[in-house]
Chains A and B, each alone.
Chain A
């Protein structure tokens, strides 16, 4: 199979998947919170666009609805809520210093290769054009996790978490032409609830430690440590 034999719409799906991956890298290395939220919104919009393209290409009508849902939820509502949170927490100008930004992004590149290596034997039998997107989705999930590890700012961690969900959704859309609508609605609701909970937690955390730096949440430890 080669790219040139695919219909144009499916080529677009591949392009969008690649851009989703790129935005994951953007999220990972973006130190300004607002810009990171924008990157996340764009990622959501791209996922919606993938869904829409798959819907058109595969004539799957229920995917139209799911595209709309994704767009509304991930590209608009959640970014808006995060935006509002950041403003209320007065973190608009917050920039985080990453210790080794180049190293982290090279680690992410390694994760992409790793997920490709993992996925290739699993999907080798199915010869659909979208199978390789599964590798990209897995990479998006893993990079989301890497973001949880590498970032210290709680809001950035939430972004990482949400982008993991984006990766899962991308896998579902591309590999199996979407989940059943009920499941999708359920997941969407879960994400929304999670978002609200995160919002509440942010305020709690800040009230108790005066910061959203999760590195300072390490008092609950088994090791004997002198606490000031």
Chain B
């Protein structure tokens, strides 16, 4: 029991330790694809360290909520991440929160992020908050239906059980998983603010969503917000990798299994990160009002996954 909690703690610490690396990796691959050399993969760590050392400034017009929000956003995102099995499957933290709670925790983080965007009272913050809430309100049903598809086959909403069920079955071709995979990828792109819904590198005020809400943040507040965004990307990556390709994840707390699990997840994330970089290089950002069509596609995929589960996989 104690070792399990120890493992859970260790894994929870691995998330913030690895998340900047993933971002650095994606940026590096992207730079290479653009024929640039790009910054080192460790650059995000340096950015965070620099932000922490800098002075924090807060607008005159900001309320106490503005200073509270980075902590809420970061903490909620981290707790959400801690419930997703990373290197080992059977964690006590996965019992605290099932996948619906995970969506809820991310919702809590988003709620405070959007409020913080509206707090200072500039137009950009409001714009970012409004757009973020539109995107998320369309992405959330798609995400939940995709998750329900998985949960309906595994008869459980606990991530450990879903992964365990999938592992126990061996290799089965499931149309529903394919559709759910597609839906979750689209949702992950939209929710973690990547191309084609949002552009993480832009600072052109009229097109940004996530950056718009962070515009007033500096110093350690910004560091927390940025790290939360990194965590969110990694969370979605791990979720997709470990649910759809669970092989390699540690089934026991033996050192060998854990080492294998760590290696496997690093490999999976490297592949996913590279795929993301390729995708972002090939595809252009779309107009804001194309985003509903994009998310509608995600919802459609999720619904098709659900229906193909009911119609094709179970039978009446």
Contacts and interface: CB of A to CB of B under 8 A. Distances in A.
Given A11-B173, A18-B175, A136 B303 contact: no
Contacts of A102: 292, 296
**What band does the interface of chain A fall in when counting residues whose beta carbon is under 8 Å from B?**
20 to 34
Given A101-B293, A102-B296, A132-B315, A11 B172 contact: yes
A18 B300 CA distance: 13
A140 interface: no
Interface residues of B, number: 26
Contact of A12 (B170, B173, B310): B173
Nearest to A131: B315
A208 interface: no
Interface string B297-313: 00011011001101111
Residue among B178, B179, B296, B307 facing the most chain A CB atoms (10 A cut-off): B307
Interface of A: 1-4, 8, 11-12, 14-15, 17-19, 21-22, 25, 101-102, 105, 109, 112-113, 116, 120, 124, 131-133, 135-136
Residue among B178, B292, B303 facing the most chain A CB atoms (10 A cut-off): B303
Nearest to A127: B315
Contacts of A21: 304, 308
A65 B308 CA distance: 29
B55 interface: no
Interface string B167-209: 0011111111011000000000000000000000000000000
Nearest to A134: B311
Contacts of B312: 3, 14, 17-18, 132-133, 136
B314 interface: yes
B150 to A, nearest CB: 14
B175 A15 contact: yes
B1 interface: no
Contact of A15 (B169, B171, B178, B316): B178
A2 B314 contact: yes
Given A14-B312, A18-B312, A4 B169 contact: yes
Residue among A15, A17, A116, A133 facing the most chain B CB atoms (10 A cut-off): A15
Residue among A18, A113, A124, A133 facing the most chain B CB atoms (10 A cut-off): A18
A1 B300 contact: no
A113 B310 CA distance: 10
A3 B304 contact: no
B172 A136 contact: no
Contacts of B292: 102
Nearest to B138: A102
A176 to B, nearest CB: 18
A219 B69 CA distance: 63
Nearest to A115: B311
Contacts of B315: 1-2, 131-132
Contact of A18 (B303, B308, B314, B316): B308
A4 B176 CA distance: 13
B301 to A, nearest CB: 8
Contacts of B175: 14-15, 17-19
A18 B179 contact: yes
Given A18-B178, A102-B296, A105-B296, A4 B172 contact: yes
